[in-house]
Amino acid sequence: MKKVMFVCKKNSRRSQMAEGFARTLGKDKIGVSSSGLASSQVDPITVEVMKEIGIDISSQTSKPLSDFNPEDFDAVISLCGCGVNLPEAWVLRDIFEDWQLDAPEGHSIEKFREVQDQVKARVENLISVMTS
């Protein structure tokens, strides 16, 4: 089974959404993890907007990238433009993409929903590529 790592600065919003979508939409098809350049905590608004669409990410936690080994992953996706800050071994996986999605932090819940829609569409495409 191919494995994907979603990376963001704090692993609290965009990467948590991506992990939730990939776990749900890619169930039994791909392995999924998410992490941050630094760990923090999962934003409660992120948990709320995912719950609105039937995906429970309340048990997900924020983890530092340093807890993982790049060789364990086939795909690495940066969601915030932080790809330039990743160690080279992470960028050299079979699939590397830097999605550069807007940060919803400090914005209305509508912004969270907008980013969530963008994340879902990209995760659906990624699953298709990884499983074809």
**Active-site annotation, residues:** 8, 80
Give all strands (DSSP E) within 1-132, no chain letters: 2-8, 30-36, 75-78, 95-98
Cβ–Cβ under 8 Å, residues 127 and 95: no
86-104 b/e (C-beta count within 10 Å ≥ 16 → b): beeebeebeeeebbebebb
In 3D, which of 77, 115, 123, 118 has the Cα closest to residue 98? Answer: 77
Per DSSP, 85 falls in state G
The alpha carbon of residue 121 and the mean position of all alpha carbons in its chain are separated, in whole angstroms, by 12
Q: What are phi and psi of 53, to 5 degrees?
A: -105, 15
